């Protein structure tokens, strides 16, 4: 996933893509790097695949896998806890 995907709404001047889960006026996107866990993304964003098409999404705030073990990728399924994933270098 690219940084652009995380920041799909752009900042300020870019038009806000209509998305049923977005709140209307662009809300700043925040990405929380959860220690030993996923990336938690809040705000108005668009999650897209490599071809630019929107990925299936059913909730406003999502957790993206960064341990590689999720079977729901790109979403987290809690597998990082089973494999002892550590986010510290």
CA distance linking residue 37 with residue 9, whole number of Å: 25
If the CB atoms of residues 12 and 56 are measured against another protein, the closer one turns out to be 56
Sheet holding 30-33, edge to edge: 30-33, 39-42, 62-64
Which helix (H) or strand (E) covers residue 40, if one does?
Answer: strand 39-42
In the complex, the smallest distance separating the C-beta of residue 13 from another protein, rounded to whole angstroms, is: 28
Beta bridge mates, 78:
none
In the complex, the smallest distance separating the C-beta of residue 29 from another protein, rounded to whole angstroms, is: 15
If the CB atoms of residues 9 and 66 are measured against another protein, the closer one turns out to be 66
DSSP per position, 59-73 = -SSEEE--SS--SST
In the complex, the smallest distance separating the C-beta of residue 11 from another protein, rounded to whole angstroms, is: 23
If the CB atoms of residues 9 and 65 are measured against another protein, the closer one turns out to be 65
Residues forming the site for another protein (CB under 8 A) = 21, 32, 34-38, 40, 58-63, 70-72, 75-79, 81-82
């Amino acid at each position: 996933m690219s940084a652009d995907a995380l920041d799909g709404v752009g900042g300020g001047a870019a038009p806000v893509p209509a998305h049923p889960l977005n709140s209307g006026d662009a809300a700043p996107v925040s990405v929380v790097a959860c220690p030993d866990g996923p990336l938690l993304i809040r705000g108005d964003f668009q999650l897209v695949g490599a071809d630019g098409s929107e990925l299936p999404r059913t909730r406003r705030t999502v957790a993206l896998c960064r341990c590689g073990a999720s079977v729901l990728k790109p979403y987290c399924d809690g597998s990082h806890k089973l494999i002892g994933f550590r986010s510290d270098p």
